[in-house]
Amino acid sequence: MLGGCGVTGGSGSGRSEAGVLDLRDWSFQRQGAVGLNGEWGFTWNALVPPAELQGQWPEGFDTASVPDQWRVDAGGGDRFKRHGYATYFLRVLLPPDAPALSLKVRDVGTAYRVFVDGQLLHQAGRVGRDAASTTPGFQRQLVPLPAPDSGEYRIVFHVANFHYRSGGLWEYLVLGASDDVRRHYEQALGLSIALASAIGAIGLYHLGLYSLRRKDSSPLFFGLVCLITSARLLSTDERYITELWPGISHDALFRLEYLSFLLALPTFGAYFSRLLPGYYPTWAMRMIYVLGLGFSSGVAITPMSVYSPWLPVFQIYLLLTCGVGLYAMARAALERREEAAAFLVGFAILIFTAVADLLSSRDVINTPHFLIGFGLFSFIIIQSYALSRRSAQAFAAVESLTSELEAYSTNLEEKVQQRTAELGDANAKLEQMAMIDGLTQINNRRQFDTALAREWPAHARRKASLSLLILDIDNFKAFNDSYGHLKGDEVLVRVAGALSSALSRPNDLVARYGGEEFVVLLPDTDAEGAWNVAERLLASVAVLNIPHQASDIGHLSLSIGVATLVPEHAGDAASLLEQADQHLYAAKAAGRNRISGNPEP
């Protein structure tokens, strides 16, 4: 629940003053990336066009601290209202040997646009001047920056918030060498994934323990705690869940973040009350359950603008829950209960790392990135050890009763494993058969549809070219009429083999689309590359020199339609198929045995 404090993304931090950050003496190669924190130029209730900020800063401009949130000032004025829109601007003076740079953008509240030297480089959500025209959005991004014109960057943020409890640039922005920034991002993301996976696996393990021995429900609630914690790790900090679920909305992301916090507290309480029964006051546990479920229901059914202002109340609820837990654990520790001692040790490590991570994020001390993650993992491991010890003691007490069943259980387990393996092999074969064309033994239309549905959003995110070829055997009905259907099937097999052999990249996919039609999906391929592949495929069938008396050229040939698009999230993959199909008909209309595409090389 304390995760997400560490926000530094590089090895150093700058401090801007009056909207200017002087990095002329900074070495990105030696000192690493830098946090763009400090005073930024700021205008409230104005979306200043970037072009107006390329010369001198406007006279009398205000300043705002970054990172920070919008707050209502003590006088009740409108300088820092929680809802509104604003322009942030910063002039960054660069060293003469600055390498290619990138900007890492973290959470911004709650819709924003990023301009650098007047160019719009990135945006999340829709920035407006009221709630109706503003759409919250989240997209953690590494933004490659263009080469500076005059040894400096002018960075402008348009920020709007009408839905969350507060807005603004509330987390560090990191500027650094592109490779360095990406490496730090990938390290942080990898660590987040590793922690979430490990804790999730521990949770599943304890749920499995509970399923085997339901008399003790503490493994059940501990397993739920681990799964909720894993979900929170995925939905906070680097927010890896946005990679697993690219279409997740801003609203759903924040609901998951809040619910993983609120549901964890009564689940923690249920776990500890069963780990040490009799030490928790009954009234306190009822209060924890009622408040946790009540708050969670409110978050689930109300809009973000309603539940997010309650965050201070939720935090007080967290402190009360922790206070009750510490009271109960202290009582148990005084009576020398081993489980209480394990909890207190784990809790002390967690609190120490949380405080250290918080101080590091405020530049008070320097600690390894995401120290809180190790503290949380240590806490989970210690609790897992305590439960394992308790389970071991319980099993030892009944060991004499289970020894007679050991041989039978071992044999049964082997049979179950063998049967599971057989079923797994059968399922794997069935799944493979469902994706393979029975005649040609290449991919079928179902496999092609699956691949196209996967590659379209992936290329949309990367803004990469995706190419598609539709191939049709010319005059194939006449071939069947002349040589027979068995010969036609043989030809389909030979053509499929030739097409497969002509593709050189492992990611390229050839499939039988239906009848005598084939499709070839070419990821990360522009129009010229797709045309080259089409020529190679045309030649691969011509080399077979299959006689075809109904063909004008005397042998079997293909007509190929080529289409290339840079997919868009709002687009439809069917448009790529339609273009390729239109070009196929154009190739046939032009005389067959040819390629048609737009543009043609």
Q: Which strand (E) or helix (H) includes residue 188?
A: helix 178-212
Cis peptide before 440 (omega within 30 of 0): no
CA angle 274, 276, 277 (to 5 degrees): 65
Nearest alpha carbon to residue 341 among 278, 396, 385, 289: 385
The residue written with tokens 């148990």 in the block is 332
Q: How far apart are CA 318 and CA 383, in angstroms?
A: 19
Structure tokens at 480: 């069947």
Query: Residue 518's closest CA among 552, 558, 555?
Result: 558
Judged by phi (left if over 0) then psi (alpha if -120 to 50, else beta), residue 196 lies in alpha
| Side chain identity at residue 246, one-letter code | P
Q: What is the DSSP letter of 62?
A: E
What is the pLDDT, as a whole number, of residue 480? 92
Q: What is the mean pLDDT of each run of 10 residues along the chain (601 residues)?
A: 38 74 92 90 91 75 87 51 90 92 89 94 93 87 88 94 90 90 86 88 90 86 90 81 82 89 87 82 88 92 90 86 81 79 77 67 57 78 80 70 68 78 74 80 92 92 94 93 91 94 92 93 94 94 92 91 89 90 94 84 57
Which two structure tokens, joined as six digits, stand for 44?
Answer: 């409230």
Please choose, from the candidates 272, 285, 387, the residue with its C-alpha nearest in 3D space to the C-alpha of residue 331.
Answer: 272
Q: What CA–CA distances, in Å, run from 35 to 23, 109, 178, 240, 363?
A: 11, 18, 14, 22, 11
Question: Helices marked H in 398-484 — which ranges?
Answer: 399-402, 406-434, 445-462, 476-483
Q: Name the β-bridge partners of 470.
A: 519, 561
The pTM (predicted TM-score) of the whole model is 0.58
Question: Following DSSP, what letter does each residue of 509-572 receive, concatenated?
Answer: EEEEEETTEEEEEEET--HHHHHHHHHHHHHHHHHH--B-TTSTTSB--EEEEEEEE---TTS-
Which residues have CB under 8 Å from 163's CB, separation 6+? 110, 131, 134, 136, 303, 304, 305
Could you tell me which residues come within 8 angstroms of residue 475 by beta carbon, excluding any fewer than 6 positions away?
548, 550, 551, 592
CA 511 to chain centre: 30
User: Which tokens sit at 310?
Assistant: 């309650």
* Residues with active-site annotation: 516
